[in-house]
A = this chain, B = another copy of it.
Amino acid sequence: MRYQSPARAISLVGFMGTGKTTNGQRLAKQLGLQCVDTDDTVQRLAGKTIPEIFATDGEEAFRDLETRALSMALSGPRSVVGTGGGVVLRASNMEMMKSAGPVICLEARPETILARIPARNDRPLLQCADPAGRITQMLAERREAYAQADYTVQADYRDRSVVLGQMMRLLENDPRTTLMVDRRTRVHVKASNGEYRIHVEAGAFDRLARLCPPTAAGNPCVVVSSEAVAALYGEKVLGQLTCGGWRAHLVTVPNGEGAKTLQNASMLYDRFAEMGLDSGATVFALGGGVVGDLAGFAAATYRRGVRFAQLPTSLLAQVDASSGGKVAVNHPKGKNLIGTFYQPAGVVIDTASLQTLPERELRSGLAEVIKHAAIADAGMFAFLERELEAFCALDDIAVRYVLARNCQIKAGVVERDPYDRGARACLNYGHTVGHALERTSGDWELKHGEAVAIGMVAEARFALELGLCDEETVSRQEALIKRAGLPTHAEGVDIQQAREALRVDKKIASGRLRMPLVPRIGTVQILRDADIEALQGVLATVIGSGTA
């Protein structure tokens, strides 16, 4: 199943007295969302009660205020929106609600409605001699409008939990709301040697005892982590694993890319051997990409491969490294020069770990997220345009959606090309220019994601220059990258060095540069013989302090 971008709002419509307000509040509480009632907003906007608005300004003025209140609710934070009974009278209101998410119509028999309206009612439209007749008449008039809702739920029941249960079941099966209904999101990945699961949940590390049980009590495992991450989560993870029945050890490696050496892999072998780990042991990699690559390489090669589970704590590792099946250490002559392909037995992502991730790391990881969206999912791209701020504020639903969908995209590409022989090339979008910038900037001046962000800008412009895409495709990428707090040009990079770095790029097979480009947001195309000089020209527009 493909995760769809979560709805902004679940709207409840229905006749007065069907319980929109109460049921809306209960539903919002269940989903952990806020609940907005358009009638409340209308009264706040007008500074008077609804009967007063009807009395002094007339129904049309009320309907205008109602539309404004609805629009505010639908574009605000993710919520359950309760509406007035007459909101459906304007077709444009229904359209607005449906484009923001599922619309549920609560339906009740006239008798139920009549019984629920207090004797001294303040509903302007029922101020008449025969409320029962009026209800029946109005229900008939609005039947067609209510029928436009995505779902209809019977609300006659005295027991309100029946109504709530019905709504939850519908939402569970609606791809726009599954992520809201479930607190835990799972991605199933088909790897060359079987299937594994990526589990995404806020607080997942607090439930590791249950999420990752040993096959038998006393099974040995070792958690490999960096010093920094171990300080934050080492105790919790080790405690959970021990509590789950593992005989768990912790080994830390220094922080940073410098730890990805064969010497550290050798140190891990020594430690594994000292602990007497046999082929039944499991290695947990707790940390970012460096720890995942190093611990994964050691796991892949210790006793010809022991079980390996990833507990990635950086956004980059969560959306990219953890589902690539690549493990490696660096060599003085090249990054990841020593490595292999090794699939994890499982990945557990605790989204809460993003709260301790340095801001710059989070934004750097966003570059790969934007890349995945640009090459593979226009829907996610639009979601990011809409909800980037919610994601950066670590809104649970936005984060789970972005992580799950990114893992799906990455794993899907890897599944088609497990050994990196062709299809994976599309993942290099932004990386041709990005790598050239990385190689010419100092080690710490430009993070990988930042280089890729600038690379995407340059490569989008290159595609435009070749007539492969339109201006909007470029400007949307550039705008999103900027909003993500990522650079769109590299300062302090020597243009000549960068041009040269581009020329000797390893992806140039026998003089021909193959590079992926984005002809339309959400699609990718491999350009088989890119003109290096033309690309070098575009490179100049993203270097230095000016923009193109």
Contact = CB atoms under 8 A, between A and B. Distances in A.
A56 B105 CA distance: 121
Interface string A280-308: 00000000000000000100111111000
Contacts of A301: 297, 301, 338-340
Given A273-B331, A304-B420, A326-B304, A506 B339 contact: no
A335 B266 CA distance: 15
B339 A304 contact: yes
B302 A338 contact: yes
B337 A340 contact: no
Interface in A247-275: 262, 266, 269-270, 273-274
B273 A262 contact: no
Contacts of A262: 262, 266, 269
Contacts of A204: none
A281 to B, nearest CB: 12
A500 interface: no
Contacts of A331: 269-270, 273
Contacts of A300: 340
B278 A304 contact: no
Contacts of A339: 301, 303-304
Interface string A126-168: 0000000000000000000000000000000000000000000
Contacts of A419: 193, 304-305
A193 B334 CA distance: 27
A331 B277 CA distance: 13
A269 B337 CA distance: 8
Contacts of A338: 269, 301-302
A442 to B, nearest CB: 22
B304 A328 contact: yes
B303 A337 contact: yes
Nearest to A274: B333
Nearest to A266: B262
A196 interface: no
A341 interface: yes
Contact of A273 (B334, B336, B420, B506): B334
A134 B328 CA distance: 85
A291 to B, nearest CB: 18
A267 to B, nearest CB: 11
A340 B420 contact: no
Interface in A402-428: 419-420
A252 to B, nearest CB: 21
Interface in A298-338: 300-305, 326, 328, 331-334, 336-338
A439 to B, nearest CB: 16
Contacts of A278: 506
Nearest to A342: B340
Contacts of A332: 273
Contacts of A297: 301
B305 A340 contact: yes
Contacts of A333: 270, 273-274
A215 to B, nearest CB: 12
A301 to B, nearest CB: 5
Most central of A300, A326, A340, A341 by chain B CB within 10 Å: A340
A340 B304 CA distance: 4
B341 A273 contact: no
Contacts of A341: 304-305
A307 to B, nearest CB: 12
A193 B419 CA distance: 10
A196 B305 CA distance: 23
Contacts of A266: 262
Contacts of A193: 419
Most central of A269, A302, A305, A336 by chain B CB within 10 Å: A269
Top 8 A-B pairs, shortest CB-CB distance: A273-B333, A304-B339, A301-B338, A301-B340, A304-B340, A262-B266, A269-B338, A269-B331
16 contacts: A269-B337, A269-B338, A270-B331, A270-B333, A273-B333, A278-B506, A300-B340, A301-B340, A302-B337, A303-B337, A303-B339, A304-B326, A304-B339, A304-B341, A305-B340, A340-B340
Given A269-B331, A297-B301, A303-B339, 11 more contacts: A193-B419, A262-B266, A262-B269, A269-B337, A273-B334, A301-B340, A303-B337, A304-B326, A304-B340, A304-B341, A305-B419
